[in-house]
Amino acid sequence: MTKIVSRAASLLAMAAFAGAAAFVPGGAKAKDKITISLVQVLTVEEWPQEMAAGARAAAADIGSDKLELRLLGTAGADVQKEGQIAMSEAERGPDAIIISNALGGMNEPAHILAQKGIPTTWLVMAPPDEVQNAFYVGADPYAVGNAGADLIIPLLEKKQGKPAAEISGEVVQGLCVPGIPVLTQRLAAIDEAVKARMPKATVLPAFDSKIDLAQSYAVWNQAINRHPHALFYTDPCEDGNKNIQKIRLEDKIDVPQVYYDNPESARVAVKSGEVTGIVSSNRFTEAYIAVYATAKTLLDKQKFPVGWLKVPHKVITSANVDSYIAAWENSGAGLRKFYDGEITATRNFPLTNLPPTSDYNHPPK
């Protein structure tokens, strides 16, 4: 993972990509049926499978007579292989490609796709600022972190019997991959919320919580042993949260906890009361909207969008977890129905005058 991040950083420095990636497609060529390819990474994990289900749901709503959807990807955290798959797919000549930029480092494929004139939509994480005129579909990670703080702070007030401004103690943070905005923005929001609403609390600098489940357990166990009386423990990464939950239960530590991914273990934990809630980036809806917006633009012969189309995040608590779990029993039709409100609102949003994708990469001022 260090090599991945290092490669991403080196690619960011290649300013030559900026000009080449400044491709702005004009009106789409008239076609009765189009082909869109979705290229993902970490496909063995649950959230990419959720995205695939959302993409299929959009394709079903558009109709197989108008859209052929291809789903491709790599099982592991191999950005180079994901890029190779995208380039191979580009040779097949799809009408558009959607890239799940989950780990960064996809500047070079963006450069090549721009040269080939293939409209490209980005998912999970906006491309770096150097990739100009990009179209990104996704939730706001800073808003996701804020929503997590909104769940945690009132519970701390209830637990301690005093207002947030009077609560003192430590907040322990872990971060599995530094420099990835989808993660760092979540922590930045939590940090700001605690400082603004709990000025007597101390937010400790985030430590390297690792991306491997076993390694993450080891470092989180050390952190919790060092700070057994912290106000709460937070990690924007799925493995970190799984381990925080496990250690909390083992050590009988009763503090609020929020997941920012929604694996089955998290859904069950919300139902049982072991964790406070989930603030989901809404991967099903993100993929649905990416496919739907991309397809409709091409089918309607419109200029390809530029900017950030924001998708609402979803908060899961004890109040709605039963219906959420039921929706997962049929992850296609069930989640399509569960997310209908967010889907219908977002898919009809005008695709003009969108905020720049660079807004995604930096905390709001």
Q: Which distant-in-sequence residues (6+ apart) come within 8 Å of 329 by Cβ? A: none
pLDDT at residue number 348: 87
Q: Are residues 274 and 287 in the same domain?
A: no
Residues 304 and 197 in one domain: no
Q: Closest Cα to residue 34, out of 318, 304, 320?
A: 304
Flag the least confident range among 12-16, 156-160, 189-193: 12-16
156 vs 114, higher pLDDT: 156
* 53 located within any domain: yes
Query: How confident is the model at residue 4, as a pLDDT?
Result: 41
User: Which tokens hold the place of 212?
Assistant: 């491997």
State the pLDDT confidence band at 102, using cuts at 50, 70 and 90. Answer: confident
- Give me 119's structure tokens: 């409209």
On the CB side of 139, CA atoms within 13 Å amount to 29
Structure tokens at 17: 């990509």
Reply yes or no on whether the pLDDT at 1 is more than 70: no
In this structure, are 253 and 268 located in the same domain? Answer: yes
Residue range(s) defining the domain that contains residue 235: 141-280
Instruction: Supply the CATH number for residue 257's domain.
Output: 3.40.50.2300
61, 152: one domain: no
User: How far is it, in rounded angstroms, from Cα 59 to Cα 295?
Assistant: 9
- Are residues 97 and 68 part of one domain? yes
CA dist 68 and 127 (Å) reads 25
Both 35 and 124 in one domain: the answer is yes
Place of tokens 């293939």: 118
Average pLDDT of every residue of the chain: 90
Instruction: Report whether pLDDT(30) > 90.
Output: no
Residue 359 counted as domain residue: no
As a whole number, mean pLDDT of residues 205-224 equals 96
| 297 burial via Cβ count (<10 Å: 0-12, 13-18, 19+) | buried
How many domains, the chain? 2
Is residue 306 a part of any domain in this protein?
yes
131 and 46 in a common domain = yes
Find, among 319, 221, 291, the residue nearest to 55 by Cα: 291
Q: What share of the chain is helix, strand, coil (3-state, %, to 5)?
A: 50, 15, 35
Q: Which two tokens stand for residue 357?
A: 């994708």
- pTM for this model (two decimals): 0.88
The residue with greater pLDDT, 45 or 100, is: 100
Are residues 268 and 167 part of one domain?
yes
Residue-wise pLDDT for 256-300, tens only, equals: 999 999 999 999 999 999 999 999 999 999 999 999 999 999 999
Whole-angstrom CA distances from 359 to 14, 182, 309, 365 are 21, 12, 11, 10
Per-residue pLDDT, 356? 95
pLDDT of 21 strictly over 70: no
